[in-house]
Amino acid sequence: MLLFMIIMSTGVLLVPGLTAEKSHQSAWIAIGFTSLFGFLCLWTVLTLGKQFPLYTLQEYITLILGKPLGKAIGGIYIVFFLMANIITVREFSEFVTTTAMPATSGLVFDTIIVLIGAYAASKGIEVIARAAQFVLPLFVFSLLFLFICLLPVSQFGRLQPFLEGGIQPVIWGAIPPFPVYGEVIVLAILLPHLNKPKEAKRKGAMALLSAAIFLTTGMMITLMIYGPYLTGDLLFPFWYLSRYIEYGTYLQRIEGIISLLWAAGIFIKVAVYQYVVCYMIAKILELKKHKIVIYLMALILIPSAAFLFSNTAELREFVAWYWPILGIIFQLGLPLILLLIALIRKNQGWTYS
């Protein structure tokens, strides 16, 4: 559930527009196709977890690469997760200021979501997971409602021609959603916290598959309503899709409710990332409790989210190009290298201490 919420909560915001901008009518293939990389990430993380069952990512990095290098890369991972949270918080404030309250400073929304996330993180991962149990059905309902209302007015012809321009546009379009699916990397921290670690494989795959189905369906319907070119120009295509719902005068203007449910989903994601970052910092500094750093991290997170990107265009460009590169390195590249080294050493008969 947590994994699904982490992927979907920001997957429905900027990414669909970025994918459609590059892939046009093939965007639904691109966004579905990228989930394969998500499965690869999941497999890597779970296999590493199997090799080091009781350890988190930063702990087995130290075991595999030695203390100095391991600590350094562990530290870089903290920055990576912090950056992921900064982007999530900023996407949330951009979403609210663009769609609902344009005259309010984004800093207000950054502060609110970070403080709520910090409060949830201070209560621990179980509390966040319980909150996700409550939010998930509402979040899924909002998407299903959106799809059901718009399917009758969709024009299937707008998905044609199939694969125009070959596979190249699909590959370009697959770049922005990569870090969205790659967020399964948080499992590398959360795996030792699971009470049923054996189910991680099945449930992780289910979460990824469900997210892929929802994102692909959403992308298809958006393309069928707005066409490939307008969809690619929209900042938040899925939200703009919700504004299309108008059945007479009795069912319309439901985007407010949908935004509220999506905001609840983003809150879960922010809380998880805050927990993960603070937990990792506590481990690296060998602190007994991670709660001490939570509100200190909030003080870093709020101004970073508010001022790291000076406008929406900068954020969009970063999410489109630079963040996927970092995603490929930290969500797939480094874990694969770690796994390779671990397996080679295992074959050579190494034992970790």
Q: Rule CB under 8 A: which residues touch another protein? A: 96, 98-105, 109, 112, 115-116, 119-120, 157, 160-161, 164, 225-227, 229-230, 233, 240, 243-244, 246, 253, 256, 259-260, 263-264, 267
Cβ(34)–Cβ(178) under 8 Å?
yes
Instruction: Write down the least CB distance from residue 165 to another protein, Å.
Output: 9
Instruction: Write down the least CB distance from residue 107 to another protein, Å.
Output: 11
Give the closest residue to 194 by CA, choosing from 53, 59, 76: 53
Instruction: Give whichever of 58 and 97 is closer to another protein, judged by the CB atom.
Output: 97
Q: For helices 125-150 and 255-284, give the axis angle rounded to 10 degrees.
A: 150
Instruction: Give whichever of 76 and 230 is closer to another protein, judged by the CB atom.
Output: 230
Q: How far apart are CA 22 and CA 333, in angstroms?
A: 24
By the 10 Å C-beta count (0-12 exposed, 13-18 middle, 19+ buried), 13 is classed as: buried
Cβ(45)–Cβ(181) under 8 Å?
no
Instruction: Write down the least CB distance from residue 246 to another protein, Å.
Output: 6
Cβ(211)–Cβ(7) under 8 Å?
yes
Instruction: Write down the least CB distance from residue 229 to another protein, Å.
Output: 4
Instruction: Write down the least CB distance from residue 26 to another protein, Å.
Output: 12
Instruction: Give whichever of 60 and 267 is closer to another protein, judged by the CB atom.
Output: 267
> Which runs of consecutive H residues, i.e. helices, occur in 106-199?
106-123, 125-150, 168-174, 178-181, 187-190
Instruction: Give whichever of 177 and 228 is closer to another protein, judged by the CB atom.
Output: 228
What residue type is assigned to position 287 of the chain? L
Cβ(255)–Cβ(242) under 8 Å?
yes
Instruction: Give whichever of 243 and 346 is closer to another protein, judged by the CB atom.
Output: 243
